[in-house]
Amino acid sequence: MHPATAKWYDRRDCVFIEFCIADSKDVEVNFEKSKFAFSCLGGTDQVKHSNEIDLFEAIDQKDSKHKRTDRSVLCCLRKVEAGKKWPRMTKEKAKLNWLSVDFNNWKDWEEDSDEEHENFDRFSEMMNSMGGEDGMPDLDGVEEEEEADSDDEKMPDLE
């Protein structure tokens, strides 16, 4: 058995961990209050992968979930204490060579106020509700106002 390569990131209510296993089968995820276990068969050779983590803080086993895709398995661990930052995924400070921080999704949410979160949520909803291609509104029939510009004067014909 081999540990699966994983990346994790912290949010206000949850901690996310993504196991980077392509074509995973027989995925098993076990959420416990202070421990988390993952196993599957994956890759072209269908190697058995197994990971176990003693978590930094407690999680809510009932509200924690996972989702399998063709490329990975994403797990959402719901924090018991929402709003408490996790500086690391593990209880111990030991470095696990298969676990790294997902800097593409990392966000320093501690400095955000609740009002900023609400504004962002409203902005996201507004953008999603707009029609047209690529989420942009349809601008057909809207004419732009042109400002008078000295460069816009008609040029005399060339002889």
Q: What is the DSSP string of 109-156?
A: GGG--HHHHHHHHHHHHHHHH--SGGGPPP-TTPPPPPPP-GGGSPPP
Domain with 74 in it:
6-84
DSSP code of residue 24: -
How far lies 41's CA from each of 8, 38, 68, 107, 156, in Å?
Answer: 21, 11, 12, 31, 77
- Whether the pLDDT of residue 116 is over 70: the answer is no
Residue 138 lies in a domain: no
Q: State the total domains in the chain.
A: 1
pLDDT digits over 38-62, tens only? 999 988 788 999 999 999 999 999 9
CATH number at residue 69: 2.60.40.790
Residue 122 lies in a domain: no
- Edge-first strand order for the sheet with 47-54 is 25-31, 35-42, 47-54
Q: What is the mean pLDDT of residues 78-100?
A: 92
Residue 148 lies in a domain: no
Q: What is the mean pLDDT of residues 84-108?
A: 90
Task: Give the chain's mean pLDDT.
Answer: 81
Residue 15 lies in a domain: yes
Residue 104 lies in a domain: no
Residue 47 lies in a domain: yes
- Whether the pLDDT of residue 14 is over 80: the answer is yes
Residue 74 lies in a domain: yes
Residue 110 lies in a domain: no
